[in-house]
Amino acid sequence: MGGSYPDSVVSAIPIATTARHSAQQIAFNEVGRQAIMADPDWSEGNYYDKNPPARGLSIARMIGHITYMSDDSMREKFGRRLRDKDAFGFDFGVDFEVESYLRYRGSQFVHRFDANSYLYITKAMDYFDLTGGDKSVREAFANVKARFLVISFTSDWLYPSYQSRRSSARCVPTTSM
């Protein structure tokens, strides 16, 4: 959308986003991609007539879920509460509520998402740069007439509110939730 088609959009509401990924955002995506590619079932991406790389994709999703929540929101939602136990198991099973949550989110994701798609989508997100790499957000949107409402979430590690504020040079004031 950016400066390529300045008259094509009347208004937009970007939610939890940034003009381009930071090194930290690229790093989180790379760890997820490596989890998938390290899964022996990935088979260099040729798994469609075999078992999909469910373990790797599940881990990638768990990493993603960690980035959606701040330390404060994780503490509020889970704390150090034990899962259906009165004491530690001293094994590698699920002891804490947060472990159960992450494992559930990871296992559910593999039933509705393709690992190769995850690899390509995260890589595309890392490559994307709204400014084209050589100008500021203000310059990239100089001819855009659309109105923007940029929304961010204060609990989001992956797309922190300061990035939304930085990206909203031509937008209405940013709302943080």
**CA angle centred on 96, ends 92 and 101, rounded to 5°:** 100
Per-residue pLDDT of the chain (177 residues; tens, 9 = 90+): 456 777 888 998 999 999 899 999 999 999 999 999 999 999 999 999 999 999 999 999 999 999 988 899 999 999 999 998 888 889 999 999 999 999 999 999 999 999 999 999 999 999 999 888 878 888 888 888 888 898 999 888 889 888 888 776 544 444 556
151 phi/psi in degrees, rounded to 5: -115, 135
CA–CA gap between residue 129 and residue 60 (Å, rounded): 23
| Triad 146, 173, 154: Cα angle to 5° | 120
- Name the residue type at position 23: A
- Residue located via tokens 């995506």: 29
Domains (range + CATH), the chain = 1-20+129-177 (no CATH), 22-128 (1.10.1740.110)
Which distant-in-sequence residues (6+ apart) come within 8 Å of 12 by Cβ? 1, 146, 147, 148, 149
